[in-house]
Structure 1
Amino acid sequence: MKKKVDLIGVQVDCGASKVGASIGPVAIRIAGICEGIRKLGYELEDKGDIIQPKGGASSEKLRNHESVISTCKSLYESTLISLEQEAFPIAIGGDHSLAAGSISATLKHHKGKVGVIWIDAHGDWNDDKITETGNMHGMSFSAVCGHGPDVMVDYGQGPVYADVTKCVQIGGRDIDAEEAKKMKAAGLNVFAIDTIDKLGMQEVMKRAIEIASNGTDGIHLSFDIDSLTPEAAPGTGTKVHSGLTIREAFLAVEMLHESGKLLSMDMVEVNPILDISNKTAKLASELVLSALGKVVY
């Protein structure tokens, strides 16, 4: 892994149904992520925060779309600069709509040769046609794979889309019916929570890493903290019961580090308003550090 890390905060929550994730980057920094990265021996540049614009156009099927797209475009530009400077970019958020920007940049830089591992309780494969809520944090995975909405990833740069056969969803347990049909039709690789129960997290991650790294330059990890069970991560806006255990989550990021394939990553949906004593932000920080190589022994 590259020895220079760029940390990019993204203060966005207008892609979600609840406010609060916009202050997630502040909470994750308070939890010690910067000190932890430096302690691991990396050169760290904290690039500060991208802040969602206030107001802007909205619609029933694409809520707050002008603000969401503007934020994603800013993250795209910042992430692309990091990659061009041979740094490892980490986006901390912030709702999951931001991944449309970070992943688009990684795909552009690597000419599409990027696998995506998306660890999340949700599929995030909705679009403006099938969405039940209009919340754009539920559309970003679909968008980066070229299955819409294109406005989330097309900033005039000529978007490069991910190859769905190199993309993996892990931990899904709250996926809309039409969304699931769309994911299956597209050929997305899915290891839902019941599959993790049957195979175990080690085997799931082994298979996921093989899928996402086969024929690619490496992997972008997009990690939604709501993938964990709510008892472990209460500070998030779309909690779903019976998620990943803390150890399953750590095993996932530890194996990704050991693979040597990580190119970039997101840590999203930390909502301090809903948290208890910054518990979820601390967990998010530690998961990022483990993805960078922090070990127990």
Structure 2
Amino acid sequence: MMRPLQTRPPCPVAVQLIGVPLDLGASRRGVDMGPSAMRLSSLVPQLERLGVRVTDTGNVAVPDRSTLLGGGNGFLDVITEVCADLAARTAAAVRAGVRPLVLGGDHSLAAGSVAGTATALHEQHHRTGLIWLDAHADINTPATSLSGNVHGMPVAHLLGHGHAPLASLSSAVPAIRPEHLVYVGLRDLDDAEKATIRALGIRAFTMRDIDERGLRAVMDDAVTIATTGTGGVHLSCDVDWIDPQEAPGVGTPVRGGATLREAHLAMEIIHDTGALVAMDLVEINPILDSRNATAELAADLIASAFGRHIL
């Protein structure tokens, strides 16, 4: 299916960087340094060369893990507080016509970032489309999770399930409807997640779909799903959707992911829609990286999402 030509958004685009040094949703330490790694990368210069106006508003406050009791589900209330702060920030940015670019941190933060986007679009009488680029579905609840790690739960909460306070951060209830959500790049799911995806009728494109159909066809379908009946798209990208040979510095690497060129193509296609409202880039773990290579790769991908072209 050929994508219709789209009118690109007027320049200059304004972007607000929001760091979320959150590692409370993961069992492996280190992703809290992801925002710093991204700020040390070429991200801001690349965006500015594209004519993007970049404002860095610093980090959302996150309590030090060593000062907290418990773990896994035991951090739910603290994660909810962090996500509530983040939701307020992303909502304010979208209201102001600025695109929030959220730098993580573990993927549990998306329960807040996407909720904020959904609130701002709901105020304009629109729903929000969500494209989830990830090796994992992140659609467990505290009751179904085998690990108890909250970074495996944000999608469930955005759909209105799980821990009630975390599932109700948006004025849109639920923040995301199943028909407006699409996964791209899945390759590591729990049995409970598979059952939930089927039960809710969520469109999910696995790596097999990409292998068989090609990334272009998959992304054309993904864009159609996320833009039909919505006022814009929130893109939430876990860097582990890319193969770890290309992006080794991630929290939960899984072999067999997207190639570097496929990842860039996905970002270029999303940009060409003109529908991108907000973006998350999460799960970079500098402890597992080499010379900040994964953060630099992520900076290149973000530049593609905001209009960088080969020619």
Distance in 2 of aligned mates of 1:59 and 1:42: 39
Q: How does 1:130-169 map to 2 (within 5 A)?
A: 130-155=144-169, 159-169=173-183
Could you tell me which of 101, 104, 118 is aligned with 1:107? Answer: 118
What residue number does 1:19 align with? 29
What residue number does 2:220 align with? 206
What residue number does 1:262 align with? 276
Distance in 1 of aligned mates of 2:241 and 2:172: 32
What residue number does 1:274 align with? 288
Alignment of 1:77 onto 2:91: no
Could you tell me which of 290, 293, 299 is aligned with 1:285? Answer: 299
Distance 1:156 1:163, change over 3 A: closer
Distance in 1 of aligned mates of 2:170 and 2:138: 23
Secondary structure at the counterpart of residue 23 of structure 2:
coil
Secondary structure at the counterpart of residue 233 of structure 1:
coil
Distance 1:209 1:155, change over 3 A: closer
Distance in 1 of aligned mates of 2:209 and 2:170: 39
1:237 partner letter: G
CA distances 1:121-162 after superposition (whole Å, capped 9, x unpaired)? 000000011100110000001111123233324349675421
Kindly indicate whether the alpha-carbon contact (under 8 Å) linking 1:144 and 1:161 is maintained by their aligned counterparts in 2.
yes
CA distances 1:60-91 after superposition (whole Å, capped 9, x unpaired)? 6x141122112111111111111121101110
Distance in 2 of aligned mates of 1:63 and 1:272: 25
Q: How many residues align?
A: 296
Alpha-carbon RMSD: 1.6
Could you tell me which of 115, 120, 139 is aligned with 1:125? Answer: 139
Secondary structure at the counterpart of residue 142 of structure 2:
coil
Could you tell me which of 28, 47, 59 is aligned with 2:57? Answer: 47
Greater shift in the superposed pair: 185-194 or 44-53: 44-53
Could you tell me which of 101, 105, 109 is aligned with 1:94? Answer: 105
What residue number does 1:193 align with? 207
Q: How does 1:231-242 map to 2 (within 5 A)?
A: 231-242=245-256
1:20 partner letter: G
What residue number does 1:224 align with? 238
Alignment of 1:8 onto 2:8: no
CA distances 1:244-291 after superposition (whole Å, capped 9, x unpaired)? 111111110100000111111100000101101111000111111110
Aligned-pair CA distance for 1:163: 1.2
Kindly indicate whether the alpha-carbon contact (under 8 Å) linking 2:83 and 2:109 is maintained by their aligned counterparts in 1.
yes
Flag structure 1 segments of 5+ consecutive residues without an equivalent: none
Distance in 2 of aligned mates of 1:248 and 1:158: 33
Distance in 2 of aligned mates of 1:134 and 1:162: 23
Kindly indicate whether the alpha-carbon contact (under 8 Å) linking 1:122 and 1:173 is maintained by their aligned counterparts in 2.
yes
1:260 partner letter: G
Secondary structure at the counterpart of residue 186 of structure 2:
coil
Aligned-pair CA distance for 1:226: 0.3
What residue number does 1:33 align with? 43
Kindly indicate whether the alpha-carbon contact (under 8 Å) linking 2:92 and 2:120 is maintained by their aligned counterparts in 1.
no
Distance 1:194 1:63, change over 3 A: farther
Distance 1:26 1:75, change over 3 A: same
Distance in 2 of aligned mates of 1:67 and 1:163: 25
Secondary structure at the counterpart of residue 256 of structure 2:
coil
Secondary structure at the counterpart of residue 171 of structure 1:
strand
